[in-house]
């Protein structure tokens, strides 16, 4: 925890110093290239989806106001105040050329029992599947997980897209870790048909996961535009890593993998070059012990230090 934030190297988090996590602020490719081979047990990463748009999220706060624009409990009137916004460009001329060297490094740093979960959507997932077949080998493809949700508008010009795709690859198809017994079970849709014992235990998830998005006004919401639900990421960590393992997200965004890993007793490495993302993680991890912020840009931009305190 005493290392210089601007010069700490990724390899330093491998020590037995009680460190629970590291957040690197900077371009993920050179940071990945410095990491030791076979040093990570699980990678979950959620790169930009290449939608061609600016992804944005406006944060609002409501205050009681008789002349306000919203009606709440017992007919009370409220008005909305904009307290901030976060955004990033999601547009790449050659998306696969951008992803390929990063996925090659992901393969290199994975342990022999490690797994990669690559979270995309319908625009790029098929091309990424072919790319990963070339990097990992087709026999290392384990699953395509579908995360289905139901929110937002519904176009009438085609079937409304309401799911994301998560490609799952393993470093070694004979040695990968997957413990379904550690995964939280889900309720039966007709519990009366299976008996009280099975209904109480629940059933195992399949490769199709129904899960709501992060609620707009929920406690989990950080305000980051593309934040993924903790429940989705927690399930991945439970199934494909062990307590004490090291997990990695090199497009960390709001840091959901870090929160899931910390909660479940794993160590984490998060990387992001977006200043707003690192500020969100600084706030999110402020009360967590032994989480360090580092990277070549950390001092230059005077953004974070040690326990995630945001500098003005």
pLDDT higher at 42 or 16: 42
Write the pLDDT tens digit of every residue in 211-233: 988 766 667 777 677 789 999 99
Residue 77's pLDDT is 61
Q: Is residue 48 very low, low, confident or very high in pLDDT (cuts 50, 70, 90)?
A: confident
Domains of the chain: 10-52+91-310 (3.40.50.150), 57-90 (no CATH)
d(CA 244, CA 100) in angstroms, rounded, equals 29
> What is the per-residue pLDDT across 103-142, written as a single tens digit (0 to 9) for each?
999 999 999 999 999 999 898 899 999 999 999 999 999 9
| pLDDT given at position 52 | 45
CA angle 145, 172, 137 (to 5 degrees): 70
pLDDT of the residue at 227? 84
C-alpha to C-alpha distance for 119 and 117, rounded to whole angstroms: 6
Are 38 and 107 contacting, i.e. CB atoms less than 8 angstroms apart? Answer: no
CA end-to-end distance (rounded Å), the chain: 21
The confidence score (pLDDT) of residue 1 equals: 31
Mind listing the pLDDT tens digit for each residue in 289-307? 899 888 755 444 444 444 3
Distance CA 242, CA 181 (A): 12
**pLDDT given at position 69:** 63
Distance from C-alpha of 177 to C-alpha of 255, rounded to nearest angstrom: 23
pTM of the model: 0.79
pLDDT for 114: 98
Q: pLDDT of 147-160, one tens digit each?
A: 999 877 899 999 99
Q: What pLDDT, on a 0 to 100 scale, did the predictor assign at position 297?
A: 53
DSSP string, 184-212: PPB--SSGGGT-HHHHHH-B---SEEE--
Q: What does the pLDDT read at residue 152?
A: 77
Percent of the chain with pLDDT over 90: 57
Q: What is the pLDDT of residue 225?
A: 76
């Amino acid at each position: 925890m005493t290392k210089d934030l601007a010069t700490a190297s990724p390899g330093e988090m491998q020590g037995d110093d009680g460190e629970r996590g590291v957040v690197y602020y900077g371009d993920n490719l050179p940071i990945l290239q410095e990491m030791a081979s076979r040093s990570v047990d699980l990678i979950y990463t959620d790169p930009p989806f290449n939608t061609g748009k600016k992804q944005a999220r406006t944060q609002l706060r409501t205050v009681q106001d008789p002349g306000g624009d919203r009606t709440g409990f017992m007919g009370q009137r409220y008005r909305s105040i904009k307290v901030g916004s976060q955004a990033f460009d999601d547009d790449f001329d050659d998306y696969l050329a951008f992803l390929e060297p990063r996925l090659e490094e992901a393969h290199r740093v994975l342990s022999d029992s490690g797994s990669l979960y690559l979270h995309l959507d319908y625009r790029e997932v098929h091309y990424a599947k072919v790319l990963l077949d070339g990097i990992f080998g087709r026999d290392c493809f384990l699953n395509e997980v579908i995360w289905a949700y139901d929110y937002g508008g519904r176009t009438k010009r085609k079937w409304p897209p309401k799911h994301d795709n998560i490609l799952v690859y393993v470093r070694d198809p004979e040695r990968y870790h997957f413990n379904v017994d550690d995964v939280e079970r889900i309720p039966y849709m007709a519990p009366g048909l299976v008996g009280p014992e099975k209904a109480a235990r629940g059933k195992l998830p399949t490769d199709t996961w129904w899960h709501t998005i992060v609620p707009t006004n929920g406690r989990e919401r950080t305000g980051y535009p593309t934040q993924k639900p903790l429940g989705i990421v927690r399930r991945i960590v439970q199934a494909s890593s062990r307590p004490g393992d090291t997990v990695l997200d090199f497009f960390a965004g709001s840091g959901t993998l870090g929160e899931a890993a910390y909660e479940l007793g794993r160590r984490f490495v998060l990387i992001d070059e977006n200043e707003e993302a690192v500020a969100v993680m600084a706030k999110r991890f402020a009360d967590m012990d032994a989480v360090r912020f580092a990277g070549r840009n950390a001092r230059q931009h005077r953004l974070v230090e040690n326990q995630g305190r945001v500098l003005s």
